[in-house]
């Protein structure tokens, strides 16, 4: 983050996060210590050498800043705006009422040996399965880290929806999800058994051959926003790319802090160098290759929701054929 954004973050933590200057350590130094651990994945002894502070001092202020950031989570998480009838964005104009996209991602964690079986993913990685929800601007709306890596994506989503202060989807709106979730009210999934991923629609591949393929193509273009959000946040915070050396409960809180800081940076920096680096990386890979609203409270596949998807797909297909002619 640039200097102006850093200054705003420190002022925000002072005013709303109850973060105060210590006897010998200012708020700015406390925040820098904390950010250096998240951004560069430094151990306590390295930070102690960098700042000439005791290990106890470093540990104390890391937890102090962490608590201050989590305290203002309501302010940092965004409230998404649905896609309007006037939307002209080619990725989103088909999905009126859509609030964004969601998916799960694995983040490596360090757990006791007795818990490793529960946290082991299908690929053998010891990780937590984090649910992430973002709007069209890649700002996070909701995040739920802490589930074991062996947990299915749909199970994590069910837990998020059923929590007392959990994930809320107003009726009449929805989020885009991938094939790992059911096509149910509030969650629009692609057609199964039909090519979907963007790499399957490269310049050497054929154009959509029917309404289902066209729908999946448009869905993939829009739903990819959550994949970009995951990619950028992991590039920015090295602590999310490898295991940290804290107890699992603290690791989960650090993951949530990274999500909140990501939103703050995206809201306060007009130009994000990490996003530019991510875009360049993708190009290289391509070249080488809540209170009074009625919310959704169940996640079950339904015929009427499938029928709505069919209508949307047919509308896309008819306009696609008209444009071709």
Q: Can you give the pLDDT of all 325 residues of the chain as single tens digits? A: 788 999 999 999 999 988 898 888 899 999 999 999 999 888 888 888 888 888 889 899 999 999 999 999 999 999 999 999 998 888 899 999 999 999 999 999 999 999 999 999 988 899 999 999 999 999 999 999 999 999 999 999 999 999 988 999 999 999 999 988 989 999 999 998 887 777 776 665 677 788 888 898 899 999 999 999 999 999 999 999 888 788 999 999 999 999 999 999 998 887 777 777 767 766 665 555 544 567 777 777 788 888 888 989 999 988 888 888 7
- Per-residue pLDDT, 169: 93
Ranges of H-type helices in the chain: 3-15, 27-40, 44-51, 55-71, 73-76, 116-119, 153-162, 211-236, 248-268, 273-288, 303-324
Contact 43, 245 (CB under 8 A): yes
The residue from 54, 71, 88 where one domain ends is: 71
Same domain assignment for residues 243 and 150: yes
Q: Which of 105-132 are b and which e, b meaning 16 or more Cβ less than 10 Å from the residue's Cβ?
A: bbbbbebeeeeeeebbbeeeebbbbbbb
- Residues 22/24/28/34 CA torsion (nearest 10 deg): -80
Record the pTM.
0.84
Q: What DSSP element (H or E) covers 290?
A: none
Give the pLDDT score at 298.
72
Which pair of tokens denotes residue 171? 């009726």
- 88/94 Cα distance (integer angstroms): 9
User: Do 292 and 152 reside in the same domain of the chain?
Assistant: yes
How many domains does the structure of the chain reveal?
2
Q: Judge if 168 and 260 occupy the same domain.
A: yes
Q: Could you list the residue range(s) of the whole structural domain that residue 50 is in?
A: 3-71
Claim to verify: residue 24 and residue 160 sit in the same structural domain:
no
Give the pLDDT confidence score for residue 301 in this predicted structure: 78
- The C-alpha angle with vertex 127 and arms to 121 and 130, in degrees rounded to 5, equals 100
The per-residue pLDDT for 78 is 92
Residues 103 and 174 reside in one and the same domain: yes
Same-domain status, 230 and 180: yes
The per-residue pLDDT for range 293-320, each reduced to its tens digit, is 677 777 777 888 888 889 899 999 888 8
Contact 213, 200 (CB under 8 A): no
Query: Residues 267, 222: one domain?
Result: yes
Position 323 scores a pLDDT of 84
With CA atoms as reference, report the closest residue to 143 among 133, 128, 152. Answer: 133
Are 38 and 136 contained in the same domain? no
The answer to whether residue 80 is domain-embedded is no
Is 79 inside any structural domain? no
β-pairing, 187-188 with 174-176? parallel
């Amino acid at each position: 983050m640039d200097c102006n954004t850093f200054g705003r973050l420190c002022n925000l933590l002072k005013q709303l996060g109850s973060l105060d200057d210590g006897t010998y350590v200012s708020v700015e130094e406390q925040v820098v210590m904390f950010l250096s651990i998240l951004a560069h994945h430094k151990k306590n002894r390295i930070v102690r050498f960098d700042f000439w502070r005791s290990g106890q001092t470093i540990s104390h202020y890391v937890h102090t800043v962490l608590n201050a950031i989590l305290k203002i989570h309501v302010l940092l998480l965004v409230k998404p705006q649905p896609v309007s009838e006037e939307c002209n964005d080619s990725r989103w104009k088909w999905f009126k009422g859509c609030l964004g996209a969601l998916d799960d991602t694995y983040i490596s964690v360090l757990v006791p040996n007795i818990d490793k079986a529960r946290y082991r993913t299908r690929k053998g990685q010891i990780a937590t399965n984090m649910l992430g929800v973002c709007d069209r601007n890649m700002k996070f709306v909701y995040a739920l880290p802490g589930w074991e890596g062996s947990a299915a994506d749909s199970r994590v989503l069910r837990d998020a929806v059923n929590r007392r202060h959990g994930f809320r989807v107003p009726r009449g709106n929805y989020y885009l999800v991938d094939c790992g979730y059911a096509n149910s009210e509030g969650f629009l999934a692609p057609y199964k058994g039909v090519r979907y991923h963007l790499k399957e629609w490269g310049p050497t591949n054929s154009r959509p051959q029917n309404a289902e393929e066209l729908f999946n193509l448009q869905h993939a273009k829009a739903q990819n926003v959550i994949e970009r959000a995951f990619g950028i946040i992991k590039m920015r915070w090295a602590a999310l790319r490898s295991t940290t050396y804290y107890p699992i409960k603290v690791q989960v809180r650090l993951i949530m802090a990274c999500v909140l800081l990501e939103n703050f940076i995206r809201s306060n920096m007009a130009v994000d160098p990490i996003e530019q680096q991510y875009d360049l990386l993708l190009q290289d890979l391509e070249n080488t290759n809540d209170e009074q609203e009625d919310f959704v409270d169940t996640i079950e596949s339904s015929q009427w929701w499938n029928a709505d998807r069919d209508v949307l797909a047919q509308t896309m297909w008819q306009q696609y054929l008209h444009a071709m002619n």
